[in-house]
């Protein structure tokens, strides 16, 4: 079993407090190392979420196999329950 606890965390560049990592690499001014770190954290977070969704999808698909009926996870996001 893997259990991940998530907490709300806010990071802000001391030089560019309006920088938003969702704006990407092109929005970083002057190669700022703090903005760069925020971007890396954002990308790592997005990758983590993608991997979790991918895992949930794989489990969901496997659970449709009668051999896997003992384990019925919650449906992945955006998918209606049947």
Q: Which residues bind Zn ion (CB under 5 A)?
A: 13, 15-16, 32, 34-35
DSSP assignment of 36-68: HHHHHHHHHHHHHHHHHHHHHHHHHHHHTSGGG
Rounded Cα–Cα distance for residues 43 and 21 (Å):
8
Q: Which of residues 37 and 72 has its CB atom nearest to Zn ion in the complex?
A: 37
Tell the smallest beta-carbon distance from residue 74 to Zn ion (Å).
39
Q: Which of residues 16 and 20 has its CB atom nearest to Zn ion in the complex?
A: 16
Q: Which of residues 34 and 60 has its CB atom nearest to Zn ion in the complex?
A: 34
């Amino acid at each position: 079993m893997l259990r991940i606890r998530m907490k709300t965390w806010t990071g802000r560049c001391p030089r560019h407090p309006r920088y938003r990592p969702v704006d990407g690499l092109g929005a970083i001014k002057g190669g700022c190392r703090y903005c760069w770190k925020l971007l890396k954290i954002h990308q790592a977070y997005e990758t983590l979420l993608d991997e979790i969704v991918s895992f949930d999808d794989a489990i969901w698909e496997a659970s449709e196999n009668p051999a896997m009926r003992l384990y019925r996870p919650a449906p992945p996001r955006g998918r209606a329950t049947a």
